[in-house]
Amino acid sequence: MPSFADALRVLNDMKGSGVVEDYAVAGAMAMIFWAEPIPTFDLDVLVFLPGDEATIVSLAPLYDWAAGRGYTAQAEHVMIEGVPVQFLPAHNSLAEEAIDRAATVDYEGVPVRVVRPEYLVALYLEPGARTLKRRERAAALMESSALDRAALGDLLKRFGLEP
């Protein structure tokens, strides 16, 4: 039976084969590592894609790689080991830094890169992302003992974000 751990193994395979340069689990699934878990439909994954930074971002090579291994696309998701995965190319310097500074943690014996809680809060507080649901998630992370308040303060200041 497929599992979340199996989907994470595939993410590591994607990185190892060069389909993505790097990745970090984000969104609600990242919260399971830092705060009380919350229900979610999918696995959000921030990615660096190989290629020239000046080119238009295309997920086609990623989708082709997945299809070649029997993983199907459904709307904006790729079904990997039964888990709907949404790949999100790093959209700005905050997302890029979140990937660069992601923590490598263990999930059932599988190493996985996860966006740190300070970066999750900052990403949730970006102007285009400030939904009620994301503000609630940011608040939950603010209560986490894993959160580094000084690092969060620095992020909010550097990226001009308001709590």
- With both helix axes pointing from N to C terminus, report the angle between 93-100 and 117-124 in degrees, rounded to the nearest 10: 160
Question: In this predicted structure, what is the pLDDT of residue 74?
Answer: 93
Q: Which of 125, 129, 92, 98 is nearest to 113 (CA)?
A: 98
Question: In this predicted structure, what is the pLDDT of residue 40?
Answer: 84
Q: Tokens in use for 21?
A: 């340069």
Full pLDDT tens readout for the chain, 163 residues: 668 899 999 999 999 999 999 999 999 999 999 998 888 889 999 999 887 565 678 899 999 999 999 999 999 999 999 999 999 999 999 999 999 999 999 999 999 999 999 999 999 999 988 888 899 999 999 999 999 999 999 999 999 998 8
Question: Would the pTM of this model clear 0.75, i.e. be above it?
Answer: yes
Contacts of 75 (CB under 8 A, 6+ apart): none
Fold held by 4-115: Beta Polymerase; domain 2 (3.30.460)
